[in-house]
Chain A
Amino acid sequence: MAPLFRLAPPFCESRIVPSVFPEDSVGLVSPQLLHFSEPLALACGRSLADYELVYETYGELNAARSNAVLICHALSGHHHAAGYHSAEDRKPGWWDSCIGPGKPIDTRRFFVVALNNLGGCNGSTGPSSLNPATGKPYGADFPVVTVEDWVNSQARLADALGIQQWAAVVGGSLGGMQALQWTISYPERVRHCMAIATAPKLSAQNIAFNEVARQAILSDPDFHGGHFQEKGVIPKRGLMLARMVGHITYLSDDAMGAKFGRELKTDKLNYDFHNVEFQVESYLRYQGEEFSGRFDANTYLLMTKALDYFDPAAAHGDDLAKTLAAAKANFCLMSFTTDWRFSPARSREIVDALIAAGKNVSYLEIDAPQGHDAFLIPIPRYLQGFSSYMNRIAV
């Protein structure tokens, strides 16, 4: 419908959407939902009769359908990777630093697809969705999904979007594991694999941290065996603790030191246990609080299990080079010097295996103080390497 009247400039400024977003932003975006009714067999032996995936796209798919890039998200990520949902949004999507016109994943060249994984809590079918068999939320009854399951569901999304082959599959952390799995599960469907701050499998220490996070949730009285939704509560304390312990592992000692040091929030010590005294405590509580309000506890449990289970070489006699032998993609791996959750040594294991398998691979070890979180931060050297690689990809 045409506007009844037009406001003269200063008044209509805020209505002109493109002007409120930075020039290198994909701008206003909106999520889309796809329904899949063909059952998806899962690694756990169960299957999902039907499910929905929510996703966003940025840029234009070219006529040859050769410029599609898949973004795989990490533990707490989702489909909103870039741009804004409304002019009022305070923050853009979670990887806006790397996706947009002129950015490493340049939306002037690439058609970018970002989805929320199965089991998520941002719109794709997951534990908080209604189980059609019972009419109640799945809760703890939602099947445990693996990285392989996700890649299979992403392949169906690609089919639905008419994308036979990705120009690149890109991801950091748990997202990097999915990118790697793509080259193993669907070697013909990936031309380039960009795996950032990731690992070929978790270490015992990694699993231990995940277990602490899970126990925090499982032991919260409000968890109710995973069926808290029916009771109208959320295991807020457990989720908060899980996020707090996770957050410690995403930052480096140096980054925490630089950000908080031993700075106090109060002007003196209180000699009790009830007050928030150190800035770092306040920060962790804020992170936990914010997270527990937006994330589903059952999804958190699922995501940590997917991380723990990922070990593609296990089916090939623990020989990673053999596991990757059938891959056809060109690879680029990047790690960050102060990342101790997925340290550079873990990325090098993948690089060494790829070299042993005779694959095309490049590897960058970015000197950065931010720890595991660095992959989300616009560090100049990181963006330069990322862009140099992506710009070379023929579409």
Chain B
Amino acid sequence: MRADLEIIQEWIPAGSRVLDLGCGNGELLAWLRDNKRVSGYGLEIDQANIAACLSKGVNVIEQDLDKGLGNFASDSFDVVVMTQALQAVHYPDRLLEEMLRVGRTCILTFPNFGHWRCRLYLASRGEMPRSEFLPYTWYNTPNIHFCTFRDFEALCRERRVRVLQRLAVDREHRHGLASRLWPNLLGEIGIYHVSR
């Protein structure tokens, strides 16, 4: 399984009901179903990903996250997961509120724009950072709302969202001493477990 999903699954209780926003090929939901008796649904808009979910027998609903979660009842899921999509939605703050309405807890992962490589790239070249991990140019990127860990936590404080757990990891999803000591500079990906 993808390394970030390996970490996330530990935060999802066995037998729970999960909504996975931008579920990709359904890997996480299929693993949770087979190993932790988890039931749930994935939301996805990519055709190939939807077909992959169907082939795995994962419940997948074709739904655009930018149109909200209005069709899901409040507190209808134990956990709402969204990996690597927060930076790509039109209204990250509203979606976060929606996730917290629908799920009792939420797990989010997103790239940290405050990582030292981004800072160095921008400071030394004066250009928007590009890397193997985030290869897009500014005009064709799906990532329209980059933030740093500090930015995200400021939003959480402002909206009274509790951060239950936080993990800063590098691109291989290792979490060493360095990213624990100085996450906003040394962590590349943030994995947050939040609730109201």
Contact of A363 among B17, B55, B62 (CB under 8 A): B62
* CB-CB contacts below 8 Å: A344-361 with B: 348, 351-352, 355-356, 358, 360-361
Query: Is residue A35 contacting chain B, with contact meaning CB distance below 8 A?
Result: no
Number of interface residues of B (CB under 8 A): 22
**How many interface contacts (CB-CB < 8 Å) are there between A and B?**
50
Query: Is residue B71 contacting chain A, with contact meaning CB distance below 8 A?
Result: yes
Q: In the complex, which residue of chain B has the Cβ closest to the Cβ of A348?
A: B71
Fill in one digit per residue for A349-377: 1 if any B CB lies within 8 Å of its CB, else 0.
00110011010111111000000000000
Query: In the assembled complex, how far is the CB of residue A150 from the closest CB belonging to chain B, in whole angstroms?
Result: 28
Query: In the assembled complex, how far is the CB of residue A209 from the closest CB belonging to chain B, in whole angstroms?
Result: 27
Q: In the complex, which residue of chain A has the Cβ closest to the Cβ of B48?
A: A384
* CB-CB contacts below 8 Å: B41-60 with A: 41, 47, 50-60
Fill in one digit per residue for A159-193: 1 if any B CB lies within 8 Å of its CB, else 0.
00000000000000000000000000000000000
Contact A351 B54 (CB under 8 A): no
Number of interface residues of A (CB under 8 A): 20
Q: In the complex, which residue of chain A has the Cβ closest to the Cβ of B53?
A: A362
How many angstroms between the C-alpha atoms of A385 and B44 in the bound complex? 13
Query: Is residue A282 contacting chain B, with contact meaning CB distance below 8 A?
Result: no
Fill in one digit per residue for B1-33: 1 if any A CB lies within 8 Å of its CB, else 0.
000000000000000010000000000000000
Contact B54 A392 (CB under 8 A): yes
Contact B62 A364 (CB under 8 A): yes
Contact A356 B55 (CB under 8 A): no
Contact A391 B59 (CB under 8 A): no
Interface centre among B41, B61, B71 (most CB of A within 10 A): B61
Give chain A's interface residues, CB within 8 Å of chain B.
332, 348, 351-352, 355-356, 358, 360-365, 381, 384-385, 388-389, 391-392
Instruction: Beyond A361-B61, A385-B54, list 18 extra A-B contacts (CB 8 Å).
Output: A332-B54, A355-B71, A356-B73, A356-B76, A358-B39, A362-B61, A363-B60, A363-B61, A363-B62, A363-B63, A364-B62, A381-B47, A384-B47, A384-B51, A385-B51, A388-B52, A388-B55, A389-B54
Q: List 28 A-B contacts (CB under 8 A).
A: A348-B71, A351-B71, A355-B71, A356-B76, A358-B17, A358-B39, A360-B59, A361-B41, A361-B59, A362-B53, A362-B58, A362-B60, A362-B61, A363-B60, A363-B61, A364-B62, A381-B47, A384-B51, A385-B50, A385-B51, A385-B54, A388-B50, A388-B51, A389-B54, A391-B55, A392-B54, A392-B56, A392-B57
